[in-house]
Amino acid sequence: MIIAVDGPTASGKGTIARALAAHFHLPHLDTGLLYRAVGRQCALNHGNPDSAEDALDACDFPVSLLDDPDLRSETCGGLASRVSVHHAVRQALYDRQRAFALQPGGAVLDGRDIGTVIAPEAEVKLFVVASVTARAERRFKEMQQAGRAVSLAEIAADLEARDLRDRTRAEAPLVAAADAVLLDTSDMARDEAIAAAIRIAERTQR
């Protein structure tokens, strides 16, 4: 069984995807982490994330970079959104994501184009959303716990800018698959959102 979990940053899709993977005993891939690694590598290379050439060069990042805690920072999130608009970058990472999705037994993948591009044949498709206010507050708490100095207003502005880039990019924009089930987690606690996702998955798997 392939489960595709898509949605904007801080909507809860990562938490939900990990919980679904544990519940159904499936491997999980956070595809956004791949793009964050490309963005981070581009910065380490002193490249321009808005340059297709520099971003493509950064796709040759070491696997060890995926364990870098800085990948979870707001800075890397913004870099990921910028490098992901390039066709060459998306193509370079496509095969890795596709192979993960098609492994024997299935998998859970979360990102922005899993149900529409990476695994359109997924048996279960979730599109997880939440208001900018709710998402900013969640990310603000995460940053505080991690000891990162950033304001709530800055986070909200960054989320809005990232959403705009993701939804309006020419290739694989952030959009719900036609057969995806919408899950709004704005007013849901973590466990409540997970329970709702599991119910949806059990009900919609084909």
**52 burial via Cβ count (<10 Å: 0-12, 13-18, 19+):** middle
Q: Tell me what pLDDT residue 142 has.
A: 84
Encode burial over 139-164: b for 16+ CB neighbours within 10 A, e otherwise.
bbeebeeeeeebeeeebbebbeebbe
Three-state DSSP class for residue 184: strand
Q: Tell me what pLDDT residue 169 has.
A: 83
Q: Tell me what pLDDT residue 74 has.
A: 80
**137 burial via Cβ count (<10 Å: 0-12, 13-18, 19+):** middle
Strand partners, 4: 109, 125
Q: Tell me what pLDDT residue 144 has.
A: 83
Residue among 133, 142, 103 nearest 119 (CA):
103
CA distance 74 to 79: 9
Residue among 41, 35, 44, 42 nearest 91 (CA):
35
Q: Tell me what pLDDT residue 206 has.
A: 56
Q: Tell me what pLDDT residue 100 has.
A: 92
* pLDDT tens, residue order, the chain (206 aa): 999 999 998 899 999 999 999 999 999 999 989 999 999 999 999 999 999 999 999 999 998 999 999 898 888 988 998 998 899 999 999 988 999 999 999 999 999 999 999 999 999 999 999 999 999 999 898 888 877 778 899 999 989 998 998 898 887 888 999 999 999 999 999 999 999 999 999 998 65
> What is the per-residue DSSP string for 86-155?
-HHHHHHHHHHHHHHHTSTT-EEEEESSIIIII-TT-SEEEEEE--HHHHHHHHHHHHHHTT----HHHH
CA distance 51 to 25: 40
Q: Tell me what pLDDT residue 77 has.
A: 87
CA distance 69 to 72: 6
